[in-house]
Structure 1
Amino acid sequence: MTTADLPWDYPHPHVVEVCVAGTDMDGLNHTNNTVYIQWCEEAAWSHSAALGLDLEAYRQLDRAMAITHSDFHYLAASREGDELAVGTWIVSWDRRLTMLRRFQILRLRDGATLLRGGMRFACIELSSGRPRRLPAEFLAGYAPAVLDIADQDIIV
């Protein structure tokens, strides 16, 4: 099954494919929950970079999108060797300070959803760590990717 054929919750996800490694396993012989979170974070960074807002751009602008809240629902286990697709979307933002990202992890073999999650981000000034308005470069870079889903107050 290709990533385009998967039953995504929302249209046009930014997708990162991963293969579950032996080092991803926990004592129960399935993927450790923290690994799923790492994959979601990697997908978010990959998406931002694809939109022209990588870590170097963040540093140059002295701004970053920092996670303020996250929520994950683990729906099924994955095992060593499973090939997965991690999809992410920016589902809403206030165009001033915050944005909401959603995540879905699916197994390529059967299309099963293993995880659904969400992360709320706030724009901060890197040099001080204080909240700051989204700079024009963030507005221009992220705008094409925002779905503007109506349920923005619901994390997952």
Structure 2
Amino acid sequence: MSLVRRFRKPDLFIPFTCNPAWPEIASELKASQRPSDCLDLYTRIFNLKLMALFHDIVERSALGKVVEYCNTMKFQKRGPPHCHMLFILSEDDKARTPEDFNNIVNAKTPDSATRLLAYETVTAAMIQSPCGLFNPEAPCRKNVVCSKRHPSAFNEKTTLGNFEGEKLPYR
């Protein structure tokens, strides 16, 4: 809350999770081992990749000049570690238009013909399984509809909500 009080609300929220299928983890496991058997390996590789991500965002200013940041690490029972990061950008680098957001976030599925590895990663780890009529037993279904409001209608363009006149509870 002290960050919000001094610098306003964060510009970027980036979650980062250790992936047990990372080649650095898989190559170090013995034949009978699972990734959850080697939590020290998980943590070391996760920490190295997290530090590389921080270097890109904070030192190299990959998403703009970072004024302030904070993060929290979470370790769940026998599961992979993950980190939640908040970044506050300088006034010159804040995203204000749909084009600015499109420069930061890419929500398109990569082309399977030209970028096969990226396509496989996105389709395996980042796309929600079908729900609704396609999967009536999905855990997100409540009273015949998806509680997460999926599937969303396709939108060709990025739009911004109208938050100009809204009062925030903490102000």
TM over 0.5: no
Band of TM-score, shorter chain: under 0.3
More strand by share: 1
TM-score after normalising by structure 2 = 0.23
More helix by share: 2
